[in-house]
């Protein structure tokens, strides 16, 4: 799927084409249907050419041969109508607004019963049309995080273009990533690499210590599980500016998943891996090995931590020498540590010692 | 407590004075102690002069007459030493870093056992010294939210001053509020009022619909329970620019608490009410009355919603005609609604109809 250059008109056309297909199926006396890849862990596979994980060959079919199946296609038709109008008028809306908006539809059967239902339908439409939610002008609830570093961008806003340097034209808080990062053009940069940082506390530490300035690093704050906008921007920084990307998280299984969502994409949105994932992104830490090497303050692994680690060992995306070694070490020591635990060595340890050592080992510096 | 003009040197001096008090108590053969107001709902009272809720007269004493009490004062002394050095060096750190840093202290008894412990101690030090966490250069984990509207600010960053217009110099995401908003100077503005908005989805709707521009409104995104930085900035916009402040949230008891934290301050930080609270802030909605008037899509109240509403009826800060009427109505109808439920009337209903009507009723427009 190549979505980068999908225009509003194209996205609209693909949606209308899908509705037209239902129409043609009806007209030909067939039961209308929509075919989708099965979206489970067992149906994702590595695409060596695109270097990302994508859905495999297993398919599920939504068909109108039952009342509930027919209702699904009815909801799809109403949603297509709404999205086509939205694109026509150059408006946008959130997933939550779509859910509530359905209450105003004249056919009660077409209204959504829960937001999960409308969210899933929008994902289905992404897969079938090969466009993205952003192409439909659907915004997420929460926007992307923020960037600090030697990068000059031009953002095309509703109110005109804005040229913003992500160090010189922003406050201590940095540049706020908008919902749709494809409105951003990279004008100029002096960056050597991109570092995605999980927590706000560590992001602020790096900025306070001037790490972005000293190492010409673009510090991208993930803010926990990163929004699509943040992942998309990271991928574009890598692809378009040819910058190495590293990910700096807490040392626990949930944080490895955050790394995974940057590097591999998620199972739920494997249809967007090529658009959102940066497979070349490398994991800086906190590694279980760091817990041992630097004798970091730790918490014991909980049962759910252990389960999550075991499920990662089982996940094809984590079946590399690095991850198997680190996860087995972590199960062995039974401990986890946060990024900010590095403060037990002093506030400058992370920028004076830890990161330079790790980045040198990894060949980034 | 007047903290606005506390300089680094003053904050440092007050901390050292406290340590000196322990010393003098020792020297005089007394058991060292620290006296604090009791921080519970039953010990807050309305200060009609300052127009905020503050702690009452009930006191608790931390005293070294037990091992655990002595340990508390030891930890306080080590923390004072750390903070005094931090201020000397013009550095800052997060609450979490303080917790981890304590592992590097040479006396194991002084190290914190949990972050709650170090957080509480910092609050104690705020109360006793009459300074704020920000005066000690302690940063929160997460920074403030973002602002969009006709306001020109100057932010004094570590890297020099930045002049930023919160419409013309920012992207669609707006101006990112820094951790310490006392670094911000208001240079110029065309604003008529401030509207604090709970959810990102609604904030984006207002910006997309150009509400800030049409009504000369400063849209402040709260992002759920607002960070101190966001509350402090809101208060300064009210006090220094003489702007009315309104709060726009979901229609449920948790959102009324968000309003409460903007308007009244929180029980845990009643010592900071004068610094953080904007008692003149008014509640726009969603009101239970709106659920009825506009026939909004709702969810039923859960047991914990009902408990929270009842506890609000019991809270002196909510004992006004407006809140008693609205909360009783809500218990009566047994329903709650989100801000974005207004989308059931169309995407422009909120900016074309709902807000203009409500703001007119309230005398803001």
Q: Which of B104, B199, B205 sits opposite A345 (nearest CB)?
A: B104
Residue B77 confidence (pLDDT) above 80: yes
Q: Which of A167, A173, A175 sits opposite B177 (nearest CB)?
A: A173
Cβ-proximal residues to A311 (8 Å cutoff; 6+ apart), any chain: none
User: Are residues B29 and B139 in contact, defined by beta-carbon separation less than 8 angstroms?
Assistant: no
Sign of CA dihedral A355, B116, B180, B3: negative
Beta bridge partners of A242: none
What's the pLDDT at A3?
A: 44
From chain B, pick out residues whose CB is under 8 angstroms from the CB of A139: 201, 204
For A341, nearest residue in chain B (alpha carbons): B100
Note the pLDDT tens digit of each residue in B276-292.
999 999 999 899 999 99
What's the pLDDT at B255?
A: 94
Choosing from B23, B99, B100, B264, the catalytic residue is B100
**A297/B103 Cβ within 8 A:** yes
**A169/B100 Cβ within 8 A:** no
Q: Which residues of A are catalytic?
A: 100
Which value does ipTM take for this structure? 0.83
**A155/B171 Cβ within 8 A:** yes
> Is B250 annotated as a binding-site member?
yes
- When scoring B173, B175, B353 by the number of chain A Cβ atoms within 10 A, the one with the most, hence best to mutate, is B173
What's the pLDDT at A142?
A: 65
Note the pLDDT tens digit of each residue in B198-241.
988 899 899 999 999 999 999 999 987 888 889 999 999 999 99
In degrees and rounded to multiples of 5, residue B219 shows phi and psi of -85, 115
Q: Which of B143, B157, B344 sits opposite A104 (nearest CB)?
A: B344
CB pairs under 8 A between A and B: 162
Q: Which of B100, B341, B343 sits opposite A344 (nearest CB)?
A: B100
- When scoring A105, A165, A204, A349 by the number of chain B Cβ atoms within 10 A, the one with the most, hence best to mutate, is A204
- When scoring B176, B178, B183, B213 by the number of chain A Cβ atoms within 10 A, the one with the most, hence best to mutate, is B176
Task: For residue A273, count CB atoms less than 10 angstroms from its CB and return exposed for 0-12, middle for 13-18, buried for 19 or more.
Answer: buried
What's the pLDDT at A2?
A: 38
CA distance B130 to chain A (A): 25
Regions of chain A short of the pLDDT cut 50: 1-3
From chain B, pick out residues whose CB is under 8 angstroms from the CB of A211: none
Residue B324 confidence (pLDDT) above 60: yes
What's the pLDDT at B3?
A: 45
From chain B, pick out residues whose CB is under 8 angstroms from the CB of A173: 143-144, 175-179
User: Are residues A166 and A190 in contact, defined by beta-carbon separation less than 8 angstroms?
Assistant: no
From chain A, pick out residues whose CB is under 8 angstroms from the CB of B116: none
| A52 sits in which H/E element | strand A52-55
Note the pLDDT tens digit of each residue in B26-48.
999 999 999 888 887 788 888 87
Distance (Å, whole) CA B122 – CA B136: 9
- When scoring B116, B171, B176, B179 by the number of chain A Cβ atoms within 10 A, the one with the most, hence best to mutate, is B171
Distance (Å, whole) CA B250 – CA A293: 48
pTM of the entire structure? 0.86
Residue B100 confidence (pLDDT) above 70: yes
Residue B308 confidence (pLDDT) above 90: yes
What's the pLDDT at A140?
A: 74
**A178/B155 Cβ within 8 A:** no
For B175, nearest residue in chain A (alpha carbons): A176
By C-alpha distance, which of A212, A227, A131, A134 is closest to A176? A227
Distance (Å, whole) CA B79 – CA B88: 14
By C-alpha distance, which of A202, A211, A214, A346 is closest to B86? A346
For B145, nearest residue in chain A (alpha carbons): A173
Domain boundaries, chain A: 8-43+58-139, 146-362
Q: Could you give the 3-state DSSP secondary structure of residue B68?
A: helix
Residue B333 confidence (pLDDT) above 90: yes
Q: Which of B141, B157, B342 sits opposite A201 (nearest CB)?
A: B141
From chain B, pick out residues whose CB is under 8 angstroms from the CB of A341: 100
CA distance B58 to chain A (A): 35
From chain A, pick out residues whose CB is under 8 angstroms from the CB of B205: 93-94, 97
| pLDDT range class, residue B142, cuts 50, 70, 90 | low
In degrees and rounded to multiples of 5, residue A51 shows phi and psi of 60, 30
**B101/A344 Cβ within 8 A:** yes
Percent of chain B with pLDDT over 90: 61
CA distance A46 to chain B (A): 35
What's the pLDDT at A5?
A: 62
B245-248 vs B282-285, strand pairing mode: parallel
What's the pLDDT at A49?
A: 80
Among A316-325, B108-117, B123-132, B146-155, the range of highest mean pLDDT: B146-155
CA distance A26 to chain B (A): 31
What CATH topology corresponds to A8-43+58-139? Arc Repressor Mutant, subunit A (1.10.10)
What's the pLDDT at B218?
A: 98
Distance (Å, whole) CA B208 – CA B196: 16
CATH: 3.40.1360.10, 3.30.70.20, 1.25.40.10, 1.10.10.10. Which one for A146-362? Answer: 3.40.1360.10
From chain A, pick out residues whose CB is under 8 angstroms from the CB of B176: 146, 170-171, 173-176
Catalytic site includes residue B283: no
From chain B, pick out residues whose CB is under 8 angstroms from the CB of A179: 172-173, 204
What's the pLDDT at A139?
A: 80
Residue B112 confidence (pLDDT) above 80: yes
For A179, nearest residue in chain B (alpha carbons): B173
CA atoms lying within 13 Å on the CB side of residue B106? 1
HEC profile of A299-334: EECCHHHHHHHHHHHCCHHHCCHHHHHHHHHHHHHC
**B341/A100 Cβ within 8 A:** yes
- DSSP state letters, B6-49: --HHHHHHHHHHHHHHHHHHHHTTPPPEEEEE--SGGGEEEETT
**A94/B208 Cβ within 8 A:** no
From chain B, pick out residues whose CB is under 8 angstroms from the CB of A104: 344-346
Find the mean pLDDT for residues B151-155.
Answer: 97
Beta bridge partners of A35: A61
> Is B198 annotated as a binding-site member?
yes
CA distance B155 to chain A (A): 6
């Amino acid at each position: 799927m190549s979505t980068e250059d999908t225009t509003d008109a194209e996205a609209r056309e693909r949606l209308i084409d899908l509705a037209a297909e239902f129409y043609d199926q009806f007209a030909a006396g067939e039961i209308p249907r929509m075919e989708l890849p099965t979206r489970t862990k067992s149906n994702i596979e590595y695409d060596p050419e695109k270097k990302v994980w994508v859905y495999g060959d297993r398919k599920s079919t939504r068909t109108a041969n039952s009342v509930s199946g027919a209702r699904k296609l009815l909801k799809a038709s109403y949603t297509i109508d709404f999205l086509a109008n939205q694109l026509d008028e150059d408006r946008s809306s959130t997933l939550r607004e779509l859910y509530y908006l359905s209450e105003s539809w004249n056919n009660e059967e077409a209204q959504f019963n829960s937001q999960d239902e409308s969210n899933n339908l929008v994902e289905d439409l992404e897969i079938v049309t090969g466009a993205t939610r952003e192409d439909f002008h659907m915004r997420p609830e929460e926007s992307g995080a923020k960037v600090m570093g030697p990068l000059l961008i031009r953002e095309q806003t509703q109110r005109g273009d804005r040229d913003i340097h992500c160090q010189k034209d922003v406050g201590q808080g940095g540049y706020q990533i908008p919902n749709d990062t494809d409105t951003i053009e990279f004008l100029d940069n002096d960056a050597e690499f991109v570092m995605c940082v999980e927590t706000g506390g560590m992001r602020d530490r790096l900025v306070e210590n001037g790490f972005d300035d000293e190492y010409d690093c673009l510090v991208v704050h993930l803010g926990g599980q990163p929004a699509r906008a943040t992942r998309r921007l990271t991928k574009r920084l890598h692809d378009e500016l040819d910058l190495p990307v590293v990910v700096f998280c807490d040392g626990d299984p949930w944080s490895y998943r955050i790394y995974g969502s940057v590097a591999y994409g998620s199972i739920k949105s494997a249809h967007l891996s090529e658009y959102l994932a940066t497979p070349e992104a490398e994991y800086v830490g906190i590694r279980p090995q760091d817990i041992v090497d630097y004798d970091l303050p730790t918490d014991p692994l909980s049962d759910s931590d252990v389960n999550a680690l075991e499920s990662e060992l089982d996940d094809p995306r984590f079946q590399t020498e690095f991850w198997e070694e680190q996860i087995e070490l972590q199960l062995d020591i039974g401990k986890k540590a946060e990024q900010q635990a590095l403060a037990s060595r002093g506030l400058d340890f992370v920028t004076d010692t830890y990161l330079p050592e790790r980045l040198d080992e990894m060949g980034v510096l």
